[in-house]
Structure 1
Amino acid sequence: MSVADTKTISFARGAPSLDIVDIEGLKSAAVKAFDADPGGVTGYGTSVGYVPLREWIAKKHGVHVDQVMVTNGSMQADAFLFDQLVKEDTPVIVERPTYDRTLLGLRARRGDLHPVTLDDDGLDVAELRALLESGVRPALAHIIPNFQNPAGVTLSMPKRQELLALAEEYGFVIFEDDPYHDVRFRGETLPRMLDMDGGKGNVVYASSFSKTICPGVRVGYLVGPAGLIAQICKAATNTYIAPNMVAQAIVHRFATSGALDQSVKTVRFALNERADALAAALRKHLPDAKFTVPDGGYFLWVELGADIDVDELLHAAAARHVAVVKGTDFLIEGGEGSLRLAYSAVKTEDIDEGVKRLAEAVHAVR
């Protein structure tokens, strides 16, 4: 096979490959949604989202329905929350590294960002406490507690408890951004901080069906204090009247039919296999690389060393038909020798070849 014919192996996008998406289940859910509620599916609806799905989410989380808002993906939920809580120079805690779109959204609102180091067991809570004791008074702490994007690490139970205590003591909101909770493939499931907070209002929770069904549905949601959700719903009404009723109705039928539970099992199995294959390939082809093998989620963070220029590496990798994302995209500063590898979209049989090509690119630029 010529170089021109070589298939690109992409570790760049955090999305499931088509072979683990339940296409038939989605088609069936769409038919059921249109048959059962043609008026609700085809009408404008309201800014709170498709009401039956809103009610299903409220029941799932054990909260009152007026604490839930269904959105066009969880990124839109993020944007609405940031618009409510973050103004110019508002102090905001972010993880270091963190999701690149979070940084873009907060920078666009000109928030005063304070990155706090991530350890293998999540946010360095001692570093956060020192920051708070120095006088910083954040309105918000953005936390991805499970299989963090991009680092793949999970916030430990003791750190969840400490973080909640700090939020109550210093009066800031924990934004628990949690799209990966249901895609744990090994280890013990930890409770959501939303549940641990006991209704005190210190936590606003966001999640998505992109990782458990498919990204194309673009359905996410927020759970928070009823007053805050009402303010956000008012802003949403002024923005788009209502989100996508068709997609939300399909998700509702998919969830209530039992197809969602089966989809989660399929996704977990595939992710487990792919994460293990990626770790094995890295040990084989890049034995000096440092990484933590995740227990769920889509991503693995790789430290290649200070002698690697990731901008140069990106081009060398692309020339060898492998795509990655450079670590500098996820940090305000630093990350020059790091990469985020998304294993979710790469079939197991392609992973070793992809890492082999990446290793060739690393050796070329080193």
Structure 2
Amino acid sequence: MYAPRMASILFTRGAPSLDIIDQEGLREAAQKAFTDDPGGTFAYGTSVGYVPLRTWLAEQHGVAPEQVLVTNGSMQADAFLFELLVSEGDDVVVEAPTYDRTLLNLRQRGANVHAIELETDGINVDALEKLLESGVRPKLAHIIPNFHNPAGYTLSEAKRTRLLELSAEYDFVLFEDDPYVKVRFEGEPLPTMLSQDKNAKVVYASSFSKTMAPGIRCGYLVGPKDVIKKVQDIATTTYISPNMVAQSIVNSYCRSGRLEESVVNVRTALRARRDALVAALRRELPEAVFTAPQGGYFMWVELPGVSIEKLFPVAKEHGVEFVKGSDFLLEGGDNELRLAFSGVTPEQIDEGITRLAAAVRSLS
């Protein structure tokens, strides 16, 4: 067993480590924001967010600025949308597994949550269609299309098309929650459902936490004007404005051209970490079942015959921590876990999986 004083290796947080954050670029962006627009940066703003950033985002997505609202992180954007659309007893659809905070938020609102199996190419649309045919009428379906948290999977193009068709046919909001879209290591990017939406059914969310810095706390929503206006009304009663300083810095950074350079650096580092994780798992835990993600921060791993509930404290004693699969599911997941590889170096990953394997062996 590892000595208690040995530092734990943490596969727990989906955040980039400090060494792959463009600290110098963010310092320059902050200085430029403070110099070029001190009035807009340091004063109260409006509930739609920092207006130049809102305009930039609208241009990126090919929509009118009135279709964009910038918030304090994408989780706040999610919470605003749920407050608008979901009341106690309302039906909602999520993937199984899905992001644990989404489950918590929806359950706290008293929603009737329908968890649909997640396959390696995205949500099981046949199962979703059967649910809809049974008479269930969800207010929204929450979908994480790219490099899913926690699973790492990516929604196929065919399934994106089918989800758009189902949302139009059965009249529900398709909530495209897409904070990892830029962090692709390999393969061709797929068009967003937002960009293909002909029926005003998609509300899109993303964030700068995964490409710029988690501490920047800047996310946004894009959707139909009437939906965004109603969300804006909720934001207005929540605060006078979101964080103008952070949003002004993000705007300065994005317009400087440094964002794409930063994204390339993040992709390069995370691909090396993904590769290290795959290699270590194949060497140390050949029985592990997983699909290597094409991007993002996470890998979903099944350990057949292993109780994760029992493994969790033993792994901690061995100096390695992860998140239990059951945290992301309404039921099940006892032999599954999520490994976040974004905040650990390849060397730490190699050592961490060696420790994890030792913990697994000690159970038997």
Q: TM-score, normalised by structure 2?
A: 0.98
Cα displacement (A) at 1:4: 4.0
Unaligned runs of 5+ in 2: none
Cα displacement (A) at 1:184: 0.5
The match for 2:278 is: 279
The match for 1:92 is: 92
1:83-121 deviations in whole A, cap 9, x for unaligned?
001001110000000000000000010100001011111
The match for 2:248 is: 249
The match for 2:180 is: 180
The match for 1:333 is: 331
Between the aligned partners of 2:361 and 2:329, the Cα distance in structure 1 is: 25
Percent of aligned pairs sharing the same letter: 60
Cα displacement (A) at 1:234: 1.1
1:226-305 → structure 2 map (5 Å cutoff): 226-305=225-304
Query: Does the CA contact (< 8 Å) of 1:185 and 1:296 recur in 2?
Result: yes
Query: Does the CA contact (< 8 Å) of 1:309 and 1:365 recur in 2?
Result: no
Query: Does the CA contact (< 8 Å) of 2:13 and 2:343 recur in 1?
Result: yes
Between the aligned partners of 1:217 and 1:166, the Cα distance in structure 2 is: 36
Between the aligned partners of 1:313 and 1:251, the Cα distance in structure 2 is: 41
Out of 329, 341, 344, the residue aligned to residue 343 of structure 1 is 341
Cα displacement (A) at 1:76: 0.2
Between the aligned partners of 1:82 and 1:131, the Cα distance in structure 2 is: 21
Cα displacement (A) at 1:33: 0.3
* Matched AA of 1:248: Q
Are 1:23 and 2:23 an aligned pair? yes
Between the aligned partners of 1:300 and 1:311, the Cα distance in structure 2 is: 18
The match for 2:319 is: 321
The match for 2:125 is: 125
1:121-178 deviations in whole A, cap 9, x for unaligned?
1011001001111111101000000011001000000110111100010001100000
Cα displacement (A) at 1:365: 2.3
Cα displacement (A) at 1:214: 0.9
Between the aligned partners of 1:112 and 1:59, the Cα distance in structure 2 is: 36
Query: Does the CA contact (< 8 Å) of 1:147 and 1:297 recur in 2?
Result: yes
Q: TM-score, normalised by structure 1?
A: 0.98
Residue 182 of structure 2 aligns to a residue whose secondary structure is helix
Between the aligned partners of 1:52 and 1:221, the Cα distance in structure 2 is: 13
The match for 1:143 is: 143
The match for 1:161 is: 161
Aligned length: 363
The match for 1:64 is: 64
1:319-348 deviations in whole A, cap 9, x for unaligned?
111110000000000000110000000111
The match for 2:12 is: 12
Cα displacement (A) at 1:349: 1.6
Between the aligned partners of 2:290 and 2:216, the Cα distance in structure 1 is: 32
Between the aligned partners of 1:136 and 1:363, the Cα distance in structure 2 is: 45
Between the aligned partners of 2:295 and 2:211, the Cα distance in structure 1 is: 12
* Matched AA of 1:275: R
Residue 19 of structure 2 aligns to a residue whose secondary structure is helix
* Matched AA of 1:343: F
1:198-249 deviations in whole A, cap 9, x for unaligned?
3x21100000000000100000000011111111111111111110000000
* Matched AA of 1:41: T
Out of 307, 329, 340, the residue aligned to residue 309 of structure 1 is 307
Unaligned runs of 5+ in 1: none
The match for 2:218 is: 219
Between the aligned partners of 1:8 and 1:257, the Cα distance in structure 2 is: 38
Query: Does the CA contact (< 8 Å) of 2:207 and 2:220 recur in 1?
Result: yes
Between the aligned partners of 1:5 and 1:32, the Cα distance in structure 2 is: 44
Query: Does the CA contact (< 8 Å) of 2:4 and 2:317 recur in 1?
Result: no
Between the aligned partners of 2:144 and 2:246, the Cα distance in structure 1 is: 25
Runs of 4+ residues over 6 Å off in structure 1: none
Residue 330 of structure 2 aligns to a residue whose secondary structure is coil
Query: Does the CA contact (< 8 Å) of 1:97 and 1:331 recur in 2?
Result: yes
1:100-119 → structure 2 map (5 Å cutoff): 100-119=100-119
1:290-310 deviations in whole A, cap 9, x for unaligned?
0000000000000012x3222
Cα displacement (A) at 1:3: 2.1
The match for 2:193 is: 193
Query: Does the CA contact (< 8 Å) of 2:47 and 2:236 recur in 1?
Result: yes
Query: Does the CA contact (< 8 Å) of 1:183 and 1:268 recur in 2?
Result: yes
The match for 1:357 is: 355
